[in-house]
Amino acid sequence: MESLVIRGNAFTVQDKYHVQYLADCLVCIDSDGWIERVLVPEDKDYERVLIAARQHHQLRELAEGEYLLPGFIDLHVHAPQWPQAGLALDRPLADWLNVYTFPLEARFNDRVFARKVYKDFVRTLLAHGTTTAMMFGTIHVDANMVLVDECRQQGLRGYVGQVTMDNPDQTPDYYRDHSAEEALAASEQFIQRVQASPDPDDLVTPVITPRFVPSCTDEALAGLGQLAAKYDLPIQSHVSESNWESQYAIDRFGMHDAEVLDHFGLLTARAVMAHGTQLTDGDMQLLRQQQTAIAHCPISNIYFGNGVLPVHRLLKMGNKVGLGSDISGGYTPSLYHNIRQAVKSSRMLTDGVDSKRPVEQRGVANSQITAATAFYLATAGGAHALHLAAGRIAVGCRADLQVVRAHQMWGKPSTADTFERLMYQTEAADIKGVYVNGHLVYEN
């Protein structure tokens, strides 16, 4: 029996390259937060379900100009970096980390500070249409539990990681795990605390989180791979994010960081690796073979990635790819902004950027993606990466949804035009409601 029926026009993913439009549909949500039926006016039960929902006060009818979309899935977020979003992006990566990022993250040993930041950040994610986020925490178990609590209280589906960083050569004295043993014990403690605490809506999942290869000792990397296997958990980290990171792994291990992560059991079908702008053909094939997903962070990559991820090629190869905001390497939590940048970056990769070179030598042909593909990354692509039944308006999916108001369009626009306008012009002020598990968790 439905507990909520939403009536209105909807856009959802058809496949990696196409969007489906559902006109005046009824999205029927059961009491456990699953989409039970999606009816269109031609279906025989449509009028009966509509009348019953109205009589039982279970109907939400979208206003004219409003559209129902799947909630967005952000595959790569540094939650404690929210206070510095938009700061120091013109600085080299080493300065950005050591002058801004590490001192900020060290402050999360204060749970009061953590509560203030995470309360605001979780609400901000929801306000931008994000219903699921895969998040790095800090090295502080108690602060990470505050983030878990905020996800549960506010209704965000959260994948939360206890960060491991124990390599004294690459991490500061004031902010690191002081041994691999200490780091692994903290990770296991966090896992057990999350799993032991009440979560009736099944919202939060603990995640194994080596910060990245440079920040971890061999012992920590090996131990985290064993923890991931022991508890059958997702893994998140960075892979080939920049020229520096890629070269660091080669200098230390004599192999690329994708191979290093695989060696330590950290490339699995439940792993999500961010960035990948320096991946080789062999790295891409290894990620596909291990069914490890890539979190494409197009805004962040402009500042720190030293390249553009070849999204179109990866999808054609069969790799799993989703979208990430990478707060705060990315300055905005909005996946709408990242959808736009994903399209723009793909066009720049196609056309090239050095006009002094001959046209045929400038870019990488056939690298462009459309707004439809970027929408796939932000929804079904992210869900696929997380093995999550979400990211689509379809029977058997979680009712993780957003209600969006379109900007004024003149004349009689096509559905394709309306969809593109939504992708390119939607801001937080246009998001009128957000549902997770069928619960209204944000309303504007």
Residue 2 confidence (pLDDT): 81
Question: Which is it for the CA torsion 407, 415, 421, 385, positive or negative?
Answer: positive
Lowest mean pLDDT among 80-89, 145-154, 280-289, 409-418: 409-418
Write the CATH number for 204. Answer: 3.20.20.140
SS3 category, 162: strand
Q: Same domain for 284 and 251?
A: yes
Q: Same domain for 230 and 328?
A: yes
Give the integer Cα–Cα distance in Å for 98 and 103: 7
Q: Same domain for 102 and 163?
A: yes
Q: How confident is the model at residue 92 (pLDDT cuts 50, 70, 90)?
A: confident
Count the helices and strands in the chain (H runs, E runs): 17, 16
Residue at which a domain ends, from 358, 386, 414: 386
Rounded mean pLDDT, 135-140: 98
Return phi, psi of residue 159, to 5°: -110, 110
Domain region containing 173: 72-386
Write the CATH number for 425. Answer: 2.30.40.10
Say if pTM beats, i.e. exceeds, 0.95.
yes
Q: Is the pLDDT of residue 299 over 90?
A: yes
Q: Same domain for 137 and 179?
A: yes
| End-to-end Cα separation, the chain, in angstroms | 28
User: Looking at 94-216, which runs of residues are DSSP E strands?
Assistant: 130-136, 157-164, 204-210
Question: In the structure encoding, which two tokens stand for residue 248, read together?
Answer: 């660091």
Q: Same domain for 38 and 93?
A: no
Residue at which a domain ends, from 344, 368, 386: 386
Q: Same domain for 76 and 66?
A: no
Q: Same domain for 283 and 167?
A: yes
Q: Same domain for 186 and 59?
A: no
Residue at which a domain ends, from 366, 386, 406: 386
Closest Cα partner for 62 from 90, 22, 96? 22
Q: Same domain for 43 and 185?
A: no
Tokens 């707004």, residue? 371
Peptide bond into 328 cis (omega under 30): yes
Structural domain tally of the chain? 2
Yes or no: say if 164 and 177 are a contact pair by the CB < 8 Å rule. Answer: yes
Tell me whether residue 5 is exposed, middle or buried, using C-beta atoms within 10 angstroms of its C-beta: 0 to 12, 13 to 18, 19 or more. buried
| Other beta carbons less than 10 A from residue 83's beta carbon | 15
Question: In the structure encoding, which two tokens stand for residue 100, read together?
Answer: 């801004």
Q: Same domain for 43 and 168?
A: no
Print burial letters for 102-121: b (CB count within 10 Å at least 16), e (below 16).
bebbbbbeeeebbeebbbeb
Amino acid at residue number 58: Q
Question: Each residue of 415-434: pLDDT tens digit?
Answer: 999 999 999 999 999 999 99
Q: Same domain for 154 and 11?
A: no
Question: Each residue of 43-75: pLDDT tens digit?
Answer: 999 999 999 999 999 999 999 999 999 999 999
Q: Same domain for 94 and 161?
A: yes
